[in-house]
Amino acid sequence: MNMSQYRFSSRFHLLASVFVTIFTVCICSVANAANPLASWNEGPARKAIVEFVAAVTDQNSKDYVAPAERIAVFDNDGTLWVEYPMYTQFLFAFDRVKKLAPQHPEWKTKQPFKAVLEGDMKTVGASGMKGLMEIMMATHSGMTAAEFEQDASNWLAMTKQSRFKRQYTELVYQPQLELLAYLRANGFKTYIVSGGGIQFMRPMSEETYGIPRDQVVGSSVVSEFQVKDGKPALVRMPKIDFVNDKAGKPVGIYEHIGRRPILAFGNSDSDMQMIEYTMAGEGRRMGLFVHHTDADREYAYDRKSHVGTLDKALDQADANGWFIVDMKQDWKAVFSEK
Amino acid sequence: MNMSQYRFSSRFHLLASVFVTIFTVCICSVANAANPLASWNEGPARKAIVEFVAAVTDQNSKDYVAPAERIAVFDNDGTLWVEYPMYTQFLFAFDRVKKLAPQHPEWKTKQPFKAVLEGDMKTVGASGMKGLMEIMMATHSGMTAAEFEQDASNWLAMTKQSRFKRQYTELVYQPQLELLAYLRANGFKTYIVSGGGIQFMRPMSEETYGIPRDQVVGSSVVSEFQVKDGKPALVRMPKIDFVNDKAGKPVGIYEHIGRRPILAFGNSDSDMQMIEYTMAGEGRRMGLFVHHTDADREYAYDRKSHVGTLDKALDQADANGWFIVDMKQDWKAVFSEK
pLDDT digits (tens, 9 = 90+) for A27-75: 444 445 679 999 999 999 999 999 999 999 999 999 999 999 999 999 9
Residues of B in contact with A214 (CB under 8 A): 189, 214-215, 256-259
Residue A3 pLDDT exceeds 50: no
* Whole-number pLDDT of residue A129: 87
Does a cis peptide bond (omega within 30 degrees of 0) precede residue A36? no
For testing contact with chain B, the best of A204, A211, A242, A251 (most B CBs within 10 A): A251
Write out residues 63-102 of B within 8 Å (CB-CB) of A. 68
What is the arithmetic mean of pLDDT over B157-186? 98
Q: How far apart are the first and last CA of chain B?
A: 42
- Least confident span in A26-30, A201-205, A207-211, B308-312: A26-30
How many secondary structure helices (H) and strands (E) does chain A include? 13, 8
Write out residues 267-306 of B within 8 Å (CB-CB) of A. 273, 276-277, 280
Q: Does A147 touch chain B (CB under 8 A)?
A: no
For testing contact with chain B, the best of A214, A236, A273 (most B CBs within 10 A): A214
Farthest CA pair distance, chain A: 80
What is the arithmetic mean of pLDDT over A187-192? 98
- Least confident span in A113-117, B22-26, B331-335: B22-26
Write out residues 200-229 of A within 8 Å (CB-CB) of B. 202, 206, 212-216, 220, 223-225, 227
Residue B336 pLDDT exceeds 60: yes
Burial annotation A239-256 (CB, 10 A radius, 16+ → b, else e): eebbbbbbbbbbbbbbbb
Q: Does B132 touch chain A (CB under 8 A)?
A: no
Residues of A in contact with B215 (CB under 8 A): 214
**Structure confidence at residue A262 as a pLDDT band (50, 70, 90):** very high
For testing contact with chain A, the best of B70, B234, B244, B279 (most A CBs within 10 A): B234
What is the arithmetic mean of pLDDT over B100-127? 95
**Structure confidence at residue B295 as a pLDDT band (50, 70, 90):** very high
- Least confident span in A252-256, B19-23, B65-69, B166-170: B19-23
A231 with B202: Cβ contact below 8 A = no
* Whole-number pLDDT of residue B9: 52
- Helix H or strand E encompassing A72: strand A71-74
Closest CA to A79 of A331, A329, A281: A331
**Structure confidence at residue B27 as a pLDDT band (50, 70, 90):** very low
What is the arithmetic mean of pLDDT over B290-295? 98
**Structure confidence at residue A17 as a pLDDT band (50, 70, 90):** low
What ipTM does this complex have?
0.89
Q: Does B252 touch chain A (CB under 8 A)?
A: no
Q: Does A316 touch chain B (CB under 8 A)?
A: no
Distance separating alpha carbons of residues B158 and A65, to the nearest angstrom: 28
* Whole-number pLDDT of residue A56: 98
Backbone Cα Rg of chain A:
23
* Whole-number pLDDT of residue A228: 82
* Whole-number pLDDT of residue A16: 54
* Whole-number pLDDT of residue B1: 43
A214 with B257: Cβ contact below 8 A = yes
- Helix H or strand E encompassing A238: strand A231-242
Distance separating alpha carbons of residues A308 and A83, to the nearest angstrom: 8
Rounded percentage of chain B residues whose pLDDT exceeds 70: 90
- Least confident span in A8-17, A319-328, B116-125, B174-183: A8-17
Whether residue A111 contacts residue A213, with contact meaning beta carbons closer than 8 Å, is answered with no
Q: Does A332 touch chain B (CB under 8 A)?
A: no
A250 with B232: Cβ contact below 8 A = yes
* Whole-number pLDDT of residue B230: 86
User: How many residues in total does chain B contain?
Assistant: 338
For testing contact with chain A, the best of B141, B246, B249, B255 (most A CBs within 10 A): B255
- Which residue of chain B comes nearest to A211, CA vs CA? B68
Mean pLDDT of chain A: 92
Whether residue B167 contacts residue B160, with contact meaning beta carbons closer than 8 Å, is answered with yes
- Which residue of chain A comes nearest to B276, CA vs CA? A232
Q: Does A177 touch chain B (CB under 8 A)?
A: no
B280 with A232: Cβ contact below 8 A = yes
* Whole-number pLDDT of residue A27: 43
Residue B165 pLDDT exceeds 80: yes
**Structure confidence at residue A23 as a pLDDT band (50, 70, 90):** very low
Q: Is A166 helix (H, G, I), strand (E, B) or coil?
A: coil
What DSSP state is assigned to residue B105? G
Q: How far does the CA of residue B214 sit from the closest CA of chain A (Å)? A: 5
Residue B148 pLDDT exceeds 80: yes
Q: Does A232 touch chain B (CB under 8 A)?
A: yes
Residue B274 pLDDT exceeds 90: yes
- Least confident span in A1-5, A284-288, B142-146: A1-5
Burial annotation A161-173 (CB, 10 A radius, 16+ → b, else e): beeeeebbebbbb
* Whole-number pLDDT of residue B16: 54
Q: Is the dihedral of CA B162, B168, B170, B174 positive or negative?
A: positive
Residue B338 pLDDT exceeds 90: no
- Helix H or strand E encompassing A241: strand A231-242
* Whole-number pLDDT of residue B15: 53
* Whole-number pLDDT of residue B3: 46
B277 with A232: Cβ contact below 8 A = yes
A250 with B225: Cβ contact below 8 A = yes
Q: Does B147 touch chain A (CB under 8 A)?
A: no
Q: How far does the CA of residue B44 sit from the closest CA of chain A (Å)? A: 27
Distance separating alpha carbons of residues B157 and A67, to the nearest angstrom: 24
Residue B28 pLDDT exceeds 50: no
Residues of B in contact with A257 (CB under 8 A): 213-214
Distance separating alpha carbons of residues B195 and B240, to the nearest angstrom: 13
Residues of A in contact with B68 (CB under 8 A): 206, 212
A273 with B214: Cβ contact below 8 A = no
**Structure confidence at residue B30 as a pLDDT band (50, 70, 90):** very low
Q: Give the E-state strand segments of chain B in sequence order.
A: 71-74, 189-197, 216-228, 231-242, 263-266, 286-293, 300-301, 323-326
Residues of A in contact with B272 (CB under 8 A): none
